[in-house]
Structure 1
Amino acid sequence: MAENNAGNGEVSGRVKEILCQPCLNNDKQTTALKFCPTCNEFQCLDCSKVHYTYAFLKNHTLVNANEAGLDQCDQHQKVLEFFCEDENQLCCSTCAILNHRKCHSIVEILKVAGRSTNTSSNLKVKLEEVRKKANRIVDSIVSSKEKLDEDVKEIPIKIRRMRDEVMKMFDDLEVSVVKKVQSYQKETLEKLTIKQCQNEKYLADITAYLETIDDVRSDDVYQNGSLAQQFIVEQKMKNDVDVLHTNVDAECHDLKTVTVSFDFDETLKLPPLSVTDYIPGQLTLKFCLSEVASTIVPVNKAMILTPLKSIDLKQKEDDVGEPLYTGIEFLPDGRLVAVDNKNKTLLVYNEKLEEVGSYQLSLNYPPQSVVAVSDEEVAVTSANGFKLDILNVNKSNDIKLDRTITVTTEYGSICQKDDQHFVVATIDHSTPVRIISSTGEEKDFNINFPNKSYPLNTSAFTYIRSSDKVVLTDRYEHTVYIYDVKTNTRVVVKDDQIKEPFGVAVGSSNTILVCSNGTNSIVQISQTGQILSSYKIDMDYPRTICVSRDKSFLAITNSCNGKRKLQKFKISY
C-alpha cells in the first residue's frame, strides 16, 4: 500500500493521499480512488475498470479508497508503514518495536511496493490464463449437464428394454415348459389308463366270485354232494381268490399319486417385496474427473517449508521427566499452546517460540491433546480421566480452568467440529472417532468404520470441516484413511513415503499433512489420496503437528528420547 504525507502540519495518524498500486508498479504516481477488498489493492479509475471488463471480476465489490480503512493496524490503530519479510506481516511502528524487534528484515512498505515494475503485465497474463481455464470449465460443465440429461433419459429406456427381454424369456419359457408337460401328461395318462382298466377288471372278477360263492352254497348239487366234492369246489375257489388277492395287493403297493409342478431356481426367485423395498439392479451415481481437469494445473500445490525456529525440549528443575508434547495447537493470534504429557502441564509459546506461560493440569490423568475453542479458550483431553477440560488462556498468558466436561470414553486427538461440538479419537474403543457436544453428549458418526480399536499411540486423526471428512492414521498398518462422512466412503492411502504415520493436520486448500514417523518427514496428501509432497525435517520420530489458522505456519514435535524438539516453519507454495 503506497501512502504519502501531504502537508507538514500533520502530526501522526492518517495520510491524505493514497496512490494507485498498478500505476506505481509502472513508475507512475496516480491517486487511487477505488479499493477492491478481494484483490486487496488500491486502484485509480482507469485501472479499476478491469473489474467491469472481465466476467469473473464482476462480483468484486469496489469501495472508495478513503473508506477502505485497510491502511491501519488492527491492534494499535496506527498507519501500517513497514513489512516484516521474515514473518510476512504488515507492521505499524508499534508492531515493529514490540513484536518484530528480533526479526532481520523489516522494510518500508513503499520500498516493497515499488520493487516490481511488471505487476500489471503479469496480472494480465495470469488473468488470461484464468479466463481460458474458466471457459474450459464452463464448457465442461455444459457438456456434463447434457450428458447427465441423456443418462437420465436412458435409464427408463434401459429398464423397459430389460423388461421386454425378461418377458420374452418368460414367454419362451412358457412354450418350452408347457410342451414338455403336455408330453409327460400324455405318456402318464396312457400308463394310468392301463392301470385303471386292469383294476376295473379285478373289481369285476371280485363281484363275480362273490356271486358264485352265494350260488354254489345254495346249489342242490353242492348241498347234496359228498364232503369230498364240496372240498374240491371250495378249494378251487380259494385258489382263484388267492391269485386275485395277490394281484390287487401288488397293485396297491405300487399305487402312486401323479403330480406335476414347475418352480423357479434360486437365481430367479424374487422376495415378496414391493419395488420400493427391492430393486433388482443398482443405481450408480458418481462423479469422475473431467478430461478438462487433467489439463489444468491442480489447485493443490506442493508446499514449501522454511524453518523459522527450533528449540530443544529439555527437562527443567521441577519436571518429573523429559517433556513429551502429545498435543500442540496454534491460537488464533499466533501463540502456540502445548500439552506436556509427561509433566502434565499446558504451556504457552509466543511467535518466537519463547515460553510465556504454563499451567499445572490434573496430576491424576496424563493429558493427551489440545484444541483451540476460541481466541482465549482451549480444550484438553486426558487418558484414563474420562473428562474434557476447558481452560482460559488470556492475552497476558494467564491460564485457569473454566469447566470440566464428563465423558464415558477415553479420548486422545481432538478437533473442533463446530461451535457446539468436538470431534475426538477414542482409545481402545470399537468406534475410532466420535462426536462430543459442549454439554458432554457423546455420539457416533454415520461411518462404517472397520471393526478395529486403536490402543494409545497407534493412531491419530484430524477433521476437515469444510468437506466433512475424517482423516485417520493407522501407525502400524502404514496407512492413512480419508473418510467422507456425507457419502460414507473412504480413500485408503498407502505409499513408500508413508511409514508409521501418526500426527495429522489440515493445511492450505484442505490438503492433509501427516507425520511420517518412520521416514522423519511431513507428507502432504490431497483429499483424493494423491501424494503432493514429502519434506524431510531435522528431527527423529516426528509425532505431533499443527497448522495456524491462516495456514501460514506449521509447528511439529517429536518423541525421540533425549532429542525432543519443537520446531516452527513458514508454509509457502
Structure 2
Amino acid sequence: MYCKDHDEVCCTTCIALNHRSCTHVHSIPDEISELFDAKIQEDMTLYLQSRESRFKHIELKTTEAMKDLESSRKEADMMIDFAKQNLVAHIEKLSKQAKDEVGKEYLATKEQIVKKRQEAVEMTDDIRMKLIDFETLTGGNRSQQFVRMKIANKKLKEEKQMETALKCNAMTNTCISFEIDSRIQVFLQDIKTLGRLSFTRGTRRYTVDTIKDVNVKLQDDKATCDISGSCLIEDGPLLLTDSRNKKLKSVNIETMAVENVYTFGHIPYCLCSTSKDEVVVTFYKHSNFILFILFTAKPSHSRKVNINHNCFGIAYGDDKLYITDKAQTLYIHDMTGNELQKISTDSLGIALFSKIRDISFSDSMQCAVAVDESKGVIIFNDQYQHIARYCDPELQGAAAVCTDDEGNIFVCGYYSHNVLQLGYDGKKIVDVVGKSHGIPSPVSLCFDSSRQRLVVSPQNGRDIVKIIQLMY
C-alpha cells in the first residue's frame, strides 16, 4: 500500500492502524501505472549517482589526508629531535665557554700565587742570611754591630711591608666558584613546551582536468544570453542570472540542462544563496533593492528589501549580507536590510576601492574577499579589517571572485581572460585557467566544493557556461 498524504509505503495492517484518516491511499499493484513516474526514477538514479560520487571523493580525500597526517607527524617528530639536538649543542657550547673561563681564571690566579710564593721564598732566604750575618758580629766591634743593626732594621721595615702585601695577595682569589645564570633557570621554569604545535592543511594547487560547455539558451529567450551571476544551492542546482533575458535559470549540474526558470521585471545581475532553498538577487539598473527568491519545486518571490545605496555584487556569510555598490564602498547589512557597517578606506584613511565589483564570503576562513576592477583583490578578516591585497598586471579587470571550502580564493580577470588561485594571505598560488583554455572575458565565478568544479561565465561566450573540472 502507498499513502500519498504521508509519502509512505506500508502494509495493509499499518494502513488500517495509522492511516485510517488519510484520503489518498493506494494499492501499489493495482495502481502502479499511475503511481510510477519514470522521470522521478531517473532523477533519483542521477541523485544517487551524484551522492555516491561525492562520498567516493570524500573517501579518497580522507585516505590522502591520513597519509599527509602520518607524514606530517613524522616530520614534526624530526623537527622536535632537531630542536633538541640544537639545544643540547648550544648548551654544550655554553658549558665549554664556561669551563674555558674557569681554566683561564685558574691559570692566571695560579701564576700570581706561584710568583708570590717565590717572592716569599726569596725573602725567607734573605732574612736567614741577615740573621747569620748579624749573629757572627755578636761580641765583636760594637760600631759595626750598630751599623748592621740599623741597616737590618731598615730592611726589616721594608720586608714587613712586603710580608703584608704577600700575605694579603696570597690569601685572595684562591678559590674559584661558578653560579648558573639565574635568567636561564627562570626561562626554563617558564617554558612549558619545546615549541608551538599547529595544525594546517596543505595548500591545494588546482589544475584543469576537463572543460564542458553548457548551453543555457532557451527557446523562448528573446535575446542572446548574458550570464552575469552564478551560485550553487547546497545539494541542489546551479543558478544563473541571465541579465539580457531577465531570468533566473536553474541548471541540473549532472545533466547540464536548464530545468527551471524564474522571470523578473527588472534586469538581474548578481546573486548568492542564503540557504538550501533561498537566493537573494541584485539588479543592474534599478539597483536600490534586493529580492529574495525561494527556489523549491516552483520558484517564487519571497520578499523585497529596499536598500539605501546601489546594489551590485552580493555575498552571504555569518547571517549577514555583503553588498558592493560598483563604486567605492562595501556595505554589510543584516538579513532585514539594516546597514551594520560600510567600508571604503583602510586604517590610514586611504581609499580601498575605485570600482568594486564582486564579493565572496569564506565560511572556512570567516573572511570576506572583494574584487575591484583596477585595485585587484582585497581581503578582510572577521573584524572587517583589510589584511591583504593582490594587485598584479597578470590580473586585469578583476571581475568576480569565489572561494573553496579550505580558504583558497579564485578570481577572474575580464581583460586578462584568466582565473587565478590565491591564498588567504593574498599571495598567488597558481594560474588555474589561462587564455589557452578559451575563457574569453569571464564575468562570474562559483565553485562546487563537492565535485571540485569551477563554473565560469565568459562574457563573449554569451549562451555558453563553462563547467571546469579541477584536480590537484
Q: Distance in 2 between matches of 1:140 and 1:417?
A: 43
Measure how far apart 1:387 and its partner are: 1.3
Partner amino acid for 2:321? Answer: F
Change (3 A) 1:526 1:408: same
Q: Is the 8 A contact 2:229 2:271 kept in 1?
A: yes
Aligned residue for 1:476, secondary structure, equals coil
Q: Is the 8 A contact 1:473 1:481 kept in 2?
A: yes
Change (3 A) 1:554 1:346: same
Q: Is the 8 A contact 1:507 1:551 kept in 2?
A: no
Q: Is the 8 A contact 1:446 1:485 kept in 2?
A: no
User: Superposition pairs for residues 419-434 of structure 1, below 5 Å?
Assistant: 419=319, 421-428=320-327, 430=328, 432-434=329-331
User: Superposition pairs for residues 224-373 of structure 1, below 5 Å?
Assistant: 299-307=202-210, 309-314=212-217, 316=218, 318-351=220-253, 352-361=255-264, 363=265, 365-373=266-274
Task: Identify the match of residue 381 of structure 1 among 276, 282, 288.
Answer: 282
Task: Identify the match of residue 345 of structure 2 among 448, 451, 461.
Answer: 448
Question: Could you tell me which residue of structure 1 aligns to residue 310 of structure 2?
Answer: 410
Change (3 A) 1:492 1:522: same
Q: Distance in 1 between matches of 2:281 and 2:78?
A: 48
Task: Identify the match of residue 480 of structure 1 among 352, 374, 377.
Answer: 377
Q: Is the 8 A contact 1:413 1:460 kept in 2?
A: yes
Task: Identify the match of residue 519 of structure 1 among 386, 403, 416.
Answer: 416
| 1:426-449: CA deviation from partner (whole Å, max 9, x where unpaired) | 133x4x211121211013256734
Q: Distance in 2 between matches of 1:370 and 1:123?
A: 34
Measure how far apart 1:548 and its partner are: 2.3
Where structure 2 has 5 or more consecutive residues not aligned to the other structure, the ranges are: 1-40, 85-194
Q: Is the 8 A contact 1:543 1:558 kept in 2?
A: yes
Where structure 1 has 5 or more consecutive residues not aligned to the other structure, the ranges are: 1-93, 143-290
Q: Is the 8 A contact 1:368 1:412 kept in 2?
A: yes
Aligned residue for 1:342, secondary structure, equals coil
Measure how far apart 1:416 and its partner are: 0.8
Give me the TM-score of the superposition, normalised by structure 2.
Answer: 0.57
Q: Is the 8 A contact 1:328 1:338 kept in 2?
A: yes
| 1:117-175: CA deviation from partner (whole Å, max 9, x where unpaired) | xx99x999655412124446889999xxxxxxxxxxxxxxxxxxxxxxxxxxxxxxxxx
Q: Is the 8 A contact 1:514 1:524 kept in 2?
A: yes
Q: Distance in 2 between matches of 1:317 and 1:572?
A: 35
Determine whether 1:460 maps to 2:460. Answer: no
Q: Is the 8 A contact 2:210 2:470 kept in 1?
A: no
Determine whether 1:505 maps to 2:402. Answer: yes
Bigger RCO of structures 1 and 2 (CA < 8 A, at least 6 apart):
2
Q: Is the 8 A contact 1:540 1:563 kept in 2?
A: no
Q: Distance in 2 between matches of 1:390 and 1:123?
A: 39
Q: Is the 8 A contact 1:311 1:566 kept in 2?
A: yes
Q: Distance in 2 between matches of 1:473 and 1:374?
A: 24
| 1:360-409: CA deviation from partner (whole Å, max 9, x where unpaired) | 11x2x321211111111111112324211111111x3x111011111111
Q: Distance in 2 between matches of 1:498 and 1:137?
A: 38
The aligned length equals 309
Q: Is the 8 A contact 2:248 2:263 kept in 1?
A: yes
Measure how far apart 1:319 and its partner are: 3.1
Q: Distance in 1 between matches of 2:66 and 2:289?
A: 56
Partner amino acid for 1:418? Answer: D
RMSD between aligned residues = 3.9
Partner amino acid for 2:257? Answer: E
Determine whether 1:130 maps to 2:28. Answer: no
User: Superposition pairs for residues 170-185 of structure 1, below 5 Å?
Assistant: none
Aligned residue for 1:403, secondary structure, equals strand
Q: Distance in 1 between matches of 2:406 and 2:353?
A: 30
Measure how far apart 1:520 and its partner are: 2.0
| 1:193-222: CA deviation from partner (whole Å, max 9, x where unpaired) | xxxxxxxxxxxxxxxxxxxxxxxxxxxxxx
Aligned residue for 1:373, secondary structure, equals strand
Q: Distance in 1 between matches of 2:444 and 2:388?
A: 22
Change (3 A) 1:530 1:95: farther
Measure how far apart 1:570 and its partner are: 2.6
Q: Distance in 2 between matches of 1:551 and 1:348?
A: 18
Question: Could you tell me which residue of structure 2 aligns to residue 243 of structure 1?
Answer: none
> Among the aligned pairs, what percent are the same residue?
17
Q: Distance in 2 between matches of 1:139 and 1:406?
A: 62
- The runs of 4+ residues in structure 1 deviating greater than 6 Å are 94-97, 100-103, 122-125, 136-142
| 1:508-542: CA deviation from partner (whole Å, max 9, x where unpaired) | 42110011222322100001122111122322111
Give me the TM-score of the superposition, normalised by structure 1.
Answer: 0.47
